[in-house]
């Protein structure tokens, strides 16, 4: 079981999907990520897109800490079912959370209305997602106009993975390593200062 670390749902437990189809972000890494996001004042009122959502832990943590809308995208049926259960179990304290049980690429194929662009995108793809496929997803975020002009994009990968191939329009600013995990932060408006 994973828990929401802080905010409205702080301390509440959520279910991980059955089997080994997902790789949950550890509490330590999630706390480091969200401490950084809070330092940058990204979360209050943010629209958040959580791609490859797994259990939904990252997106639900964002909702717990003040995001106004969170979309969780996960194609694996057992994982999507676990996310729906987690969203339902937190509905008494969190709202504005929706689930899309379909492939990330299909979701990104249809751009959102301008008012529905995202301030924060979290990508934690399975390690077996090829670098080329990840580059295509990042390109779709930019070319499909999914990102607010000041959006922040965070990619989590294995520490053995190369830095993602960023498309024009996304500027990588910081890389942080936590044991076997690495996170890259990229900004639409140019390099973001991350303390």
Cβ within 8 Å of residue 8, ≥6 positions away: 63, 64, 65, 93, 94
CA distance 69 to 165: 28
Side-chain-side CA neighbours of 11 within 13 Å: the count stands at: 1
pLDDT for residue 167 = 95
Each domain of the chain, given as residue ranges in start order, spans: 2-18+26-162+170-187
Q: List the strands of the sheet with 171-178, edge to edge.
A: 97-100, 69-73, 47-51, 118-123, 147-158, 181-187, 171-178
pTM attached to this predicted model = 0.93
pLDDT for residue 192 = 47
Give the length of the chain.
195
pLDDT for residue 20 = 52
Residue 46 contacts residue 119 (beta carbons within 8 Å): yes
Could you count the other beta carbons within 10 Å of the beta carbon of residue 184?
A: 20
pLDDT for residue 114 = 86
Could you list the pLDDT tens digit for every one of the 195 residues in the chain?
789 999 999 999 999 887 655 667 777 899 999 999 999 999 999 999 999 999 999 999 999 999 999 999 999 999 999 999 999 999 999 999 999 999 999 999 998 888 899 999 999 999 889 999 999 999 999 999 999 999 999 999 999 999 999 999 999 888 999 889 999 999 987 554 544
| pLDDT tens-digit map of 152-195 | 999 999 999 999 999 999 998 889 998 899 999 999 875 545 44
CATH hierarchy code of domain 2-18+26-162+170-187: 3.40.50.150
- Residue closest to 190 by CA, chosen among 141, 163, 164, 153: 153
């Amino acid at each position: 079981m994973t828990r929401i670390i802080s905010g409205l749902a702080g301390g509440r437990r959520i279910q991980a999907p059955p089997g080994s189809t997902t790789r949950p972000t550890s509490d330590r890494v999630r706390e480091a990520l969200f401490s950084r996001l809070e330092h940058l004042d990204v979360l209050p009122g943010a629209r958040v897109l959580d791609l490859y959502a797994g259990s939904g832990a990252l997106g639900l943590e964002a909702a717990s800490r003040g995001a106004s809308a969170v979309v969780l995208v996960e194609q694996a049926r057992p994982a999507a079912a676990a996310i729906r259960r987690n969203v339902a179990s937190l509905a008494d304290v969190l709202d504005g959370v929706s689930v899309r049980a379909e492939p990330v690429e299909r979701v990104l194929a249809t751009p959102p209305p301008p008012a529905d662009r995202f301030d924060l995108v979290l990508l934690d793809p399975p390690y077996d997602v090829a670098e080329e496929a990840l580059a295509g997803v990042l390109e779709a975020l930019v070319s499909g106009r999914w990102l607010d002009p000041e959006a922040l994009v965070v990619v989590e990968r294995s520490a053995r993975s190369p830095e993602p191939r960023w498309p024009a329009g996304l500027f990588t600013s910081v890389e942080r390593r936590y044991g076997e995990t690495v996170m890259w932060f990229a900004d639409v408006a140019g390099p973001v200062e991350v303390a």
